[in-house]
Chain A
Amino acid sequence: MTATEDEVELQAAFDGTIARNDRIEPRDWMPEGYRRTLVRQIAQHAHSEIIGMQPEGNWITRAPSLRRKAILLAKVQDEAGHGLYLYSATETLGVSRAELTEMLIEGRQKYSSIFNYPTLSYADVGTIGWLVDGAAICNQVPLCRTSYGPYGRAMIRICKEESFHQRQGYELLMTMMRGTDEQRAMVQESVDRFWWPALMMFGPPDADSPNTAQSMAWGIKRNTNDDLRQRFVDMTVPQAEALGVTLPDPDLRWNDERGHHDFGQPDWEEFMQVVKGNGPCNAQRIAHRRRAHEDGAWVREAATAFAKRTVGEASAPVVEEVAQQPSRNPGREGT
């Protein structure tokens, strides 16, 4: 059999798996383009989890009650855990966490643009949970059925936790709305700032999204950007009403004919600028990640040196054991 015939057969088997909506597993043959697209998408997702720790982490030391401090710390810790699972998924595709971290801090790989917006009040913790985790869920729940096995399984676990984050964020806003006038104003001001960036999280309009068709054919992506954005708006409007906040879009209204809400378009020029690195916090987020990574270099070197020295001894490598620590956000088993 010639190499070409071999490849034709492998490609046919791959196509069959995709067509049956079965999962591709790490040992299966896959086209190079599929592998590359997956690495890019999962890495970008992992980086988003890790960079996403910063905007909310900004408020951990100023959380206004001990209960909120516990909730917020547990949430940001969950995001670190999400980053870990996703970097593990890329490892099954032959790319290590260390390589990807380098790519991130050198600016060669992207993360979600939403995290390039600043958090300016404690209400932002609630708004991020409600709108940003909410939008992330809309994007990610379909990925639980994505064609690559390790990615899909990671997403199932992640989505459960994101749904907690969303509820917790919404609950914080609800509580603040029952508080003082100043608190209600804080909530509205925060929603005003995050509404449009949240809509941008679904990516550019389908007409301007060149990779969508191939990603959908490969079963990596399951819905178009505009589909998901519409779903998000439709779900969020009644929640905003229940909360008592106004969404800052004069064009937002129910369309009986379509059975959906009509809504305005985000400022796509601003979106492109943020993607290019010119958002309010792009430089700060990367500098933070780079500093933490570089400050930790001597610790990682010490762990490696120590592990080498103690090879064959009974004591397990320190870092691996620590990785087993479960997240502490209580109650999640309930979902």
Chain B
Amino acid sequence: MSHQTPDPNDEHGSVYDGLLGTDTSQWAFGTDFEDPLAGVDTTVPSELDAAELAAYCLALGDDALVLSHRLSEWCSNAPDLEDDIALANIALDLLGQARLLLARAAAADPSVVPTLPDGSPVPVEDALAFFREAVDFRNVRMVEVANGDFAHTVARLLLFATVRLAAFERLATHADPVLAAIAAKGVKELTYHRDYAGRWFLTLAQGTEESRRRLLAGLTGLWPLQAELARAYDAGPEVDVVLDQVFAVSGVERPDVAPMTGRGHTEALSRMLAEMQVVARAHPRGQW
């Protein structure tokens, strides 16, 4: 451009350098859409059933996607800046897991991906996230119920991260190398999530009368959904060992409430998806 002014910030270099150029190395996520599994061999090993693998990855992906969404609702609403940042971190980790798992599901069995209008540039992970109906989501009910207070979020995160971490430790040696790699990466993240939730669980249990009352209310409210969560992840006794440890150190009894009957979804999911999908669905040929 002939009339661009000289850079005013001689010392630090112009923040505008390369803005109009072709240097893409400075962009946080690249300039083009990147398949999260780009460069990965997604052939399903012959001993595995591709449709079964896809369904399993979809369920794992949906859990991450839905809980990530719930956690992202805390953004600018958390009790303190440090927790705003931490909850966003966890939401970002789970969103990353969701993207990989949805892409893995689509690559294993393309028939799981909803059909979009001809010429739609929507990538498969977004077709799955934004163009599926609530009834087709495979997530457990634990992750979809609406946010309560911070204690409710801490209790949900402790239960979810504990169960999922135990499963991911097993899945890290899964016969599908793609799922195994996704799980191995997730183990580190989920360890942090469980630790964050565990420390807050203890703090709220031992903090004030009010925090203890709220924590017990949150935990008791979620407990009826714990059995379904544990079933979905084939949770073994190691999960109970961890939870009992956290409960013991916090001076909290394991809730004595019956598992919720039914399956599928609560009323909360379709409402959540209506919000999540609204812009994407308004522009099925749009590029983002």
Residues of A within 8 A of B (CB): 50, 53-54, 57, 60-71, 73-74, 76-77, 80-81, 83-84, 87, 97, 122, 137-138, 141-142, 144-145, 156, 159, 162-164, 166-168, 170-172, 175-176, 178-180, 182-183, 223, 231, 234-235, 237-239, 241-242, 254, 259-261, 288, 291-292, 295-303, 305-306, 309-310, 315, 318-319, 321-323, 325, 327-332, 334-335
B208: chain A residues at CB < 8 Å are: 298, 301-302, 305
Tell me if A142 and B214 are in contact (CB < 8 A): no
**Contact, CB under 8 Å: B280 / A238:** no
22 residue pairs bridging A and B, Cβ less than 8 Å apart: A50-B76, A54-B76, A61-B72, A66-B129, A70-B96, A71-B28, A73-B72, A73-B92, A74-B28, A137-B15, A141-B9, A144-B9, A159-B12, A235-B16, A238-B3, A238-B4, A241-B1, A297-B79, A302-B208, A302-B211, A306-B206, A325-B86
**B58 contacts the other chain (CB 8 A):** no
**Contact across chains for B28 and A168 when beta carbons are under 8 A apart:** yes
State whether A70 touches B29 (Cβ < 8 A).
yes
Interface of A is mostly: helix
Distance in angstroms between the alpha carbons of A71 and B33 in the assembled complex: 12
Which chain B residues numbered 231 to 287 have a C-beta less than 8 Å away from chain A? 275-276, 278-280, 283, 285-287
* B81 lies within 8 A of A62 (CB): no
- Answer whether residue B95 sits at the interface, using C-beta atoms and an 8 A cutoff: yes
CB distance from A217 to the nearest CB of B (A): 20
CB <8 Å contact, B72 and A142: no
With a cutoff of 8 Å between Cβ atoms, the chain B residues found around residue A301 in the complex are 207-208, 210-211
Query: A292 and B78: CB pair below 8 A?
Result: yes
Task: Tell whether, in the assembled complex, residue A235 and residue B5 are in contact, meaning their CB atoms are under 8 Å apart.
Answer: yes
CB within 8 A of A66: which of B125, B211, B278, B283?
Answer: B125
Q: Are A319's CB and B4's CB within 8 A?
A: no
Task: Indicate if B88 sits at the interface (CB-CB under 8 A).
Answer: yes
**Contact between chains at B75 and A77 (CB < 8 Å):** yes
Chain B residues with CB under 8 Å of A299's CB are 79-80, 83, 150, 204, 211
- A73 with B95, Cβ < 8 A, contacts A64-B279, A170-B19 known: yes
Q: Known A73-B95, A183-B287; judge A302-B29 contact (CB<8 A).
A: no
- Chain B residues whose C-beta falls within 8 Å of the C-beta of A241 in the assembled complex: 1
Among A167, A170, A176, A237, max chain B CB count under 10 A is at: A167
User: B136 near A: Cβ within 8 Å?
Assistant: no
Q: Looking at the complex, which one of A61, A168, A175, A306 makes contact with B73 (CB distance below 8 Å)?
A: A61
Residues of B within 8 A of A328 (CB): 88-89, 92-93
Among residues of A, the one whose C-beta sits closest to the C-beta of B5 is: A234
Contact A295 B26 (CB under 8 A): no
What is the bound-complex CA distance between A65 and B82, given in angstroms?
27
Question: B29 touching A330 by the CB < 8 A rule?
Answer: yes
Cβ contacts under 8 Å, A172 to chain B: 288
Closest-by-CB residue of B relative to A170 is B19
Q: Is the CB of A322 within 8 A of B95?
A: no
B88 surroundings in chain A (CB, below 8 A): 73-74, 76-77, 80, 328
A330-B28 in contact (CB<8A) = yes
Q: Once the chains are docked, how many angstroms separate the CA of A259 from the CA of B79?
A: 50
Sample of 4 more A-B contacts, CB < 8 Å, known A299-B211, A305-B207: A61-B276, A77-B92, A182-B286, A299-B79
Q: How far is the CA of A53 from the CA of B214 in the complex (A)?
A: 27
Q: Is the beta-carbon distance between A239 and B19 smaller than 8 angstroms?
A: yes
B126 at the interface (CB under 8 A from A): yes
Q: Which residue on chain B has the smallest CB distance to residue A243?
A: B20
**In the complex, what distance in Å separates the CA atom of A176 from the CA atom of B282?**
14
With A57-B76, A77-B89, A164-B28 as known contacts, state yes or no: A66 contacts B19, CB within 8 Å: no
Say whether B43 faces chain A, with CB atoms less than 8 Å apart: no
How many residues on B have C-beta within 8 angstroms of the other chain's C-beta atoms?
A: 77
Are B84 and A80 touching (Cβ within 8 A)?
Answer: yes
Residue B25 lies at the interface, judged by CB distance under 8 Å to chain A: yes
Q: Check A298–B126 contact: CB distance below 8 A.
A: no
Contacting pair A71 B287 (CB below 8 A): no
**B279:A334 contact, CB within 8 angstroms:** no
Question: In chain B, residues 17-70, which have Cβ atoms closer than 8 Å to a Cβ of chain A?
Answer: 19-20, 25-29, 31, 33-34, 65, 69
Given contacts A53-B75, A306-B203, contact A73 B288 (CB under 8 A): no
Which A residues touch B9, using CB under 8 A? Answer: 141-142, 144
Bound Cα distance from A201 to B84, whole angstroms: 26
The reply on B141 being an interface residue by CB < 8 A is no
Q: Which residue on B lies nearest to A54, using beta carbons?
A: B76
- Nearest Cβ on chain B to A177's Cβ, whole angstroms: 9
**How far does the alpha carbon of A239 sit from the alpha carbon of B14 in the complex, in Å?**
14
Which residues B172-200 have CB closer than 8 A to chain A? 196, 199-200
Please indicate the chain A residues that have their CB under 8 angstroms from the CB of B203 in the complex: 302-303, 306, 318
In the bound complex, what is the Cα–Cα distance between A266 and B142 (angstroms)?
51
Given contacts A64-B288, A322-B86, A295 and B29 within 8 Å (CB-CB)? no
Please measure, in the bound complex, the distance between the C-alpha atom of A144 and the C-alpha atom of B12, giving whole angstroms.
9
Q: Which of B8, B82, B125 sits near A323, CB closer than 8 Å? A: B82
Chain B residues contacting A61 (CB-CB under 8 Å) are 69, 72-73, 275-276
Query: Residue among A65, A137, A172 with the most chain B CB within 10 A?
Result: A65
Cβ-defined contact, A66 with B15, below 8 A: no
The answer to whether B80 touches A296 (Cβ under 8 A) is: yes
